Structure 1
């Protein structure tokens, strides 16, 4: 009995030692773009509110809301598509459309009120889901709004997924924990509408999951029994 128990214990310990810890990608690993806080020109979205001024014809100036279809309605013009366009692009298109009606079709547009700006926060946070940004916030503030990190979070490699204006999808790795002591090193910038933040598991959490799935659950042996047995046979 003593020999068999010793053999079982030795086999289990050898099995644990033969499995290395699961690898964790290094910060800025291949596949992640270098993060930059630089933001492109804002693109208008439905429910945004635009103030459009015509200096040469103030009576035509007004504030309009971008409709669900992405269009606005201005005097003398048919509905115009403005969604997913920058303010300079909108000014240029309105000016061109009004050039046959005004001697000076100069137009000055601004976003007077932003519609809901939603981002998605998932992974190892307390309350994953959709978040309405109250204004310009960074990754750390978004995670706090999602209830904060869990005990299994990898706070040094938060993944940011962002769609570029050309339709391509870029992913970035952000060291949020490092930003607590050195904000410049973290390179946290303002999030943008429809950004996706994903907090992966920490290295120790991955290791614990590995142990749970491939060691404890896979072997028909109660670990507490083995340790008690080991103490008994000493």
Structure 2
């Protein structure tokens, strides 16, 4: 009797683990692709900047956006600049330095000297987890990113419950989708396109459980400071 119960319990677990939790990726491809950010490039960690003043050269400086999205400015200290347009940072600095300069002309320019490569993060049950650099003049699909990361671990990955997390730099809204990206869905319908700072997570457990792990893990491990406090998977 015990053996029978054990076998039935084991079968139940196996069936539960093999059942996809999310819809096939091509079903949600249009919805996901509609959230792609098509605006101007915003400041990101790794970007190198020059701040040049027209009439207060003692405040000229060359700085780099740090992993937490901040820069330390002469006389001002650290400020969060990640997610801003260069023009937005320029206006912000002009206002702050205007107070410091006490009536002197605070006209300045923010110049992006070098832009850090845009990247996505493929994590979890893949052969080579980590950063994947986005091509400069071409799209990167979800499956291409998965392949660059070495593909899924055949024995432990749960492709039917893959998680995609995306942050909108304008609205500051974080979205996420649970997707079935098993091989049987490859080449069917539209494909999912990725954008800078997307996180693709291939779990070995239900995303209900993985979500708790990712909520703290993403903010601790990934150099992008704009994720919201609330982690709500969509699409399941």
- The separation in 2 between residues aligned to 1:73 and 1:139, in whole angstroms, is 38
1:92 matched to 2:98 = no
Q: Give 1:40-119 correspondences, 5 Å limit.
A: 44-54=43-53, 56=54, 63-67=62-66, 70-74=70-74, 77-87=75-85, 88-99=87-98, 100-102=103-105, 105=107, 107-110=109-112, 112-114=114-116, 119=121
Task: Assess, with a 3 A threshold, how the Cα gap between structure 1 residues 158 and 42 changes in structure 2: closer, same or farther.
Answer: farther
Larger Rg: 1
Instruction: Return the match for 2:123 from 121, 124, 138.
Output: 121
Q: CA deviation at 1:84?
A: 3.0
- The separation in 1 between residues aligned to 2:114 and 2:200, in whole angstroms, is 28
Contact 1:161–1:197 (Cα < 8 Å) also in 2: yes
- The separation in 1 between residues aligned to 2:79 and 2:91, in whole angstroms, is 13
Task: Assess, with a 3 A threshold, how the Cα gap between structure 1 residues 175 and 92 changes in structure 2: closer, same or farther.
Answer: farther
Q: Give 1:1-16 correspondences, 5 Å limit.
A: none
Q: CA deviation at 1:118?
A: 6.7
Q: Give 1:164-179 correspondences, 5 Å limit.
A: 169-173=174-178
Structure 2: 5+ residue stretches without partners: 205-236
Q: Give 1:17-56 correspondences, 5 Å limit.
A: 22=16, 23-27=19-23, 34-36=31-33, 37-39=35-37, 44-54=43-53, 56=54
Contact 2:48–2:114 (Cα < 8 Å) also in 1: yes
Instruction: Return the match for 1:186 from 191, 199, 224.
Output: 191
- The separation in 1 between residues aligned to 2:193 and 2:179, in whole angstroms, is 7
Task: Assess, with a 3 A threshold, how the Cα gap between structure 1 residues 155 and 186 changes in structure 2: closer, same or farther.
Answer: farther
Task: Assess, with a 3 A threshold, how the Cα gap between structure 1 residues 78 and 21 changes in structure 2: closer, same or farther.
Answer: closer
- The separation in 2 between residues aligned to 1:47 and 1:191, in whole angstroms, is 13
Residue 218 of structure 1: aligned partner:
none
Task: Assess, with a 3 A threshold, how the Cα gap between structure 1 residues 106 and 147 changes in structure 2: closer, same or farther.
Answer: same
- Give the total of aligned pairs: 178
Task: Assess, with a 3 A threshold, how the Cα gap between structure 1 residues 133 and 62 changes in structure 2: closer, same or farther.
Answer: farther
Deviations 1:125-168 (A, max 9, x none): 234x4x13334554333322322124365657632123555765
Contact 1:94–1:107 (Cα < 8 Å) also in 2: no
The root-mean-square deviation of aligned C-alpha atoms, in Å, is 4.7
Q: CA deviation at 1:97?
A: 3.0
Deviations 1:54-101 (A, max 9, x none): 5x4595665322356722335xx4335134341233121112234443
- The separation in 2 between residues aligned to 1:170 and 1:149, in whole angstroms, is 23
- The separation in 2 between residues aligned to 1:138 and 1:28, in whole angstroms, is 15
1:148 matched to 2:151 = yes
- The separation in 2 between residues aligned to 1:155 and 1:133, in whole angstroms, is 19
- Secondary structure of the 2:92 match is helix
